[in-house]
């Protein structure tokens, strides 16, 4: 019996370390902003904004453009991965495979703006993000319609939301996604998807969670309180948070 107490203490310490690792994973995200095509000048503002959102809302943020970090072991550290204005072919075949495994293991994805202008030859990713970019008109003000006021990323928004950004047209949008925001094509010039024309959505996908917003082209977006709350709610959803 004299060895019983130290064993219990060691066992308790191991449980504590395990819990600490689990807590760290549940409150840490990875922001990925590698580009292999057009590069948005707003990426630095976006990274800074997400870092500040994390500090204010209790999650840690790592930022990278190094695709070699997309390994099974490294991705396990994160509750969600944010693709911030990525473009083109940013992951190789093994990195794609590991990211798929991460999502199938319950991981989360949040895509911002040009995340839909990414990995056109990887059909799994196209279904994850929910759509591929097709074209856009010049930046202009338009009217957005918020059609879901229950989601973390939209509950703070008005029914009609006017703002200036670069408005994407999409090749097609997966009907399995749950649409959060649409754009009124009569309120601006250059929309080609017809009504309804989704701008933000979410869905459960292949064991994980995915959220996407087409907003976030301009640097000014990342100083806009309503957009920042929209972005925060999407990240929180990807992390697995529900409710308020």
Is residue 107 assigned to a domain? yes
Is residue 1 assigned to a domain? no
Is 90 exceeded by the pLDDT of residue 200? yes
pLDDT band at 14 (very low <50, low <70, confident <90, very high): very low
Is residue 96 assigned to a domain? yes
Is residue 45 assigned to a domain? yes
User: Mean pLDDT across the stretch 72-99?
Assistant: 98
Helix residue spans in 116-176 (DSSP H)? 123-129
The predicted pLDDT at position 242 comes to: 82
> If you average pLDDT over each of 21-25, 136-140, 238-242, which comes out highest?
136-140
Is residue 108 assigned to a domain? yes
**3-class DSSP string for 24-48:** HHHCEEEEECCECCCCCCCHHHHHH
Is residue 2 assigned to a domain? no
At residue 53, φ and ψ (nearest 5 deg) are -60, -40
pLDDT by residue (tens digit) across 86-128? 999 999 999 999 999 999 999 999 999 999 999 999 999 999 9
Is residue 19 assigned to a domain? no
Is residue 7 assigned to a domain? no
Is 60 exceeded by the pLDDT of residue 23? no
Domain residues for the domain of 157 are 28-239
Q: Please give the structure tokens belonging to residue 202.
A: 């979410």
The predicted pLDDT at position 26 comes to: 74
* 64-75 burial: b if 16+ Cβ within 10 Å, else e: beebebbeeeeb
Q: pTM, whole model, 2 decimals? A: 0.90
Domain count, the chain: 1
Give the domain CATH number at 215. 3.40.50.880
CA distances from 103 to 23, 59, 75, 204, 220 (A): 19, 19, 10, 10, 31
């Amino acid at each position: 019996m004299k060895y019983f107490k130290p064993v219990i203490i060691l066992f308790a310490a191991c449980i504590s370390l395990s819990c600490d690792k689990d807590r760290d994973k549940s409150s840490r995200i990875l922001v990925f902003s590698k580009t292999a095509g057009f590069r948005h000048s707003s990426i630095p503002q976006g990274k800074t904004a997400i870092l500040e959102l994390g500090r204010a809302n209790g999650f840690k943020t790592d930022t990278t453009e190094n695709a070699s970090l997309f390994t099974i072991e490294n991705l396990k550290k994160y509750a969600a991965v944010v693709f911030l204005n990525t473009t083109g072919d940013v992951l190789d075949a093994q990195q794609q495979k590991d990211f798929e495994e991460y999502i199938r293991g319950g991981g989360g994805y949040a895509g911002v703006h040009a995340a839909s202008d990414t990995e056109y030859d990887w059909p799994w990713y196209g279904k994850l993000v929910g759509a591929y970019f097709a074209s856009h008109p010049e930046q202009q003000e338009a009217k957005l319609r918020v059609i879901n006021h229950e989601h973390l990323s939209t509950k703070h928004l008005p029914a009609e939301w006017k703002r200036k950004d670069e408005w994407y047209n999409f090749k097609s949008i997966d009907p399995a996604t749950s649409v959060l925001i649409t754009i009124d094509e009569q309120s601006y010039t250059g929309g080609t998807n017809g009504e309804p024309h989704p701008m933000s959505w979410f869905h459960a996908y292949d064991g994980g969670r995915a959220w996407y917003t087409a907003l976030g082209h301009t640097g000014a977006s990342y100083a806009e309180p309503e957009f920042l709350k929209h972005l925060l709610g999407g990240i929180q959803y990807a992390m697995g948070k529900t409710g308020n």
